[in-house]
Structure 1
Amino acid sequence: MKESPYVCDRNISCDDPADIEYNATKTWAIDRLDIPKTPQDFKRSLVLRRDFFRMDAYYITPTGNKLRTRNEVAAFIEANPKYQDVKLSDFSFTSPKVMEDTIP
């Protein structure tokens, strides 16, 4: 049997109530478990499309550029030697799954 990927920490119990409750007043999405950790100084941004059925993933560089594809990430790394230690495999443009029962 595979161990649960969810771990409670921060001195709380898994039985404690959630910070927010799942309901249809907000649009909810679930990211995949194998998304790599975003490299230091970069930010991963998720934008919900107007149709509410999909999200787009982008990365914001430390210089404020918005990267939309792996090719753009590769070009940024190549053009900025300071970030040569950043691996292309640390970027995932896989979009989270929008929960259909919360789509307005």
Structure 2
Amino acid sequence: MNWIYVIIGGLFEVGFTFCLGKVKETNGTASYWWFSCFILCLFASMGLLLKATQSLPIGTAYAVWTGVGAVGSVAVGILVFNEPATLWRLLFITTLIGSIIGLKVVSH
């Protein structure tokens, strides 16, 4: 169950990254709304990570949480914010995914 907390927390990290991008694109009331969503996702992400690390090794849980957030944020950047999907970016994201899976497999 704690690994599920880590993964969902990582997805909330993607959420706060997305909201941060929307804050940058908007102004006025919309900007405040996206900033509020950013804060909510930030607290949810950190809270889930905190809950998960009560029984998981902090180093492994943090690395997986950050990796999920990084991979998701790059995907959102490519799919939503039209960031470039170069061969090198995709290669290194694939390497990161392999490292996340490896950490999960070797942790107790």
User: Which TM-score bucket, shorter chain as reference?
Assistant: under 0.3
Q: TM-score, normalised by structure 1?
A: 0.27
Higher strand share: 1
